[in-house]
Structure 1
Amino acid sequence: MLTFALAALVLIMIPGPDQALITRNALVGGRAAGLWTTLGGMLGLSVHVSAASLGVSSLLLASATAFTVLKAVGTVYLIWMGIATFRSARSAGQDGAVDGIGAAKTGPTCVRQGFLSNALNPKVALFFVTFLPQFLPTTGHTLGRALLLSAEFVVLYLLWFGLYTVTVDRFGAVLRRPRVRSRIEYVTGALLIGFGLRLALMH
């Protein structure tokens, strides 16, 4: 359990589209927006860990059509979010205003963005299909163990990004200055588009 927790924490800390969204929403909407986005990411993650534990993800990866459809939807979503973030960055740089599409100030919007960034990412499904089995017993019933490890991963995700959100919000006075925030959002938009393009090229 400890080895899995350490390995999972390292993997959670690797930058990805969910971290980019959490950072962006925490800067724009404050701590609450970042935490709502984290909750959405956790729910999206839960879809994949549950599917991997039950063996459903293996069916997804075995079907080229299903994998391609999910990859295409995920790519479009990430690129759309990147473009929306660019629009918000331009508004922030001009007059400190926040674009309505990119703002994500409301809880449901933040949850939806976090959920979709993980739920529509087939790389997350691939990760759990290849990573989780390494910590399961080779004989006997593995479902209970798989669900327990999956729950551990989800809790670690929630704790890490909860702490990350609080840290971002703590330095919010500096990071939310129009010029600084505009630059951060430009970088975040570029990262989201980059993640989308990487996903599009995934085989």
Structure 2
Amino acid sequence: MGIQILEPNTCIRGCCSSPSIPLHLPPSSYTLLSPIARGAESVVFEGTLDGMKVAVKKPILSTSEDINKFHKELQLLCYQIVINTPQCDVKQIEGLTAKALQYLHNLGIVHRDVKPANILLDKNLSPHLTHFGLAEYKNDFTRVSIENWKSSGKPTGGFHKKNMVGTLIYMAPEVLKKDLHTEKSDVYSFRVSINELLTGVVPYTDLRAEAQQQTIGRASRRSD
């Protein structure tokens, strides 16, 4: 039995909708089992959905800002990014993931946390770019600058906490220098991810976190 899509197919707020992705499911259709991964913003459980084995992401919603971020992620998930292929090798994984990233960028969305853990492979080894918890519409944050933030009287630490996000070893040099994320930042993170896939090694992981930041920054200045 397939998953039934109810009408109107919207979230509880009514701000997210999709003609093909079910946004509310009857409790009898799914089961949560044991947790398999934990992060700062969510817990991932093993589960079943209509008899299929699935991973279920349960967000941690402690504040109204967390709820707003969850609904933004839900809106982004309503875009269907599906690129089918029967078999995948490294080149195909690279090419299809690049197409998914390009699709996001064409929609004006910056992912901000591209890394291998957010590129999932299905049973055919087809890649799926996932986890949009840190993704932002470009227009929402390009209007923000450290100068505007300062002029509002807010401490700059809040600016960096809100905008310097992602995973350190995949962060682009400009983000480490506290500039805003752009599509180019995503491309940098994507290339580091593909390098890891090809070599089994992540650059600079033999260094401590502070030394990683300094080394990436120096490499960026040499390439400018």
Query: With structure 1 as the length reference, what TM-score do the two structures score?
Result: 0.28
- Indicate the structure (1 or 2) with the bigger Cα radius of gyration: 2
Higher RCO, 1 vs 2 (CA within 8 Å, ≥6 residues apart): 1
Greater share of strand: 2
Query: With structure 2 as the length reference, what TM-score do the two structures score?
Result: 0.26
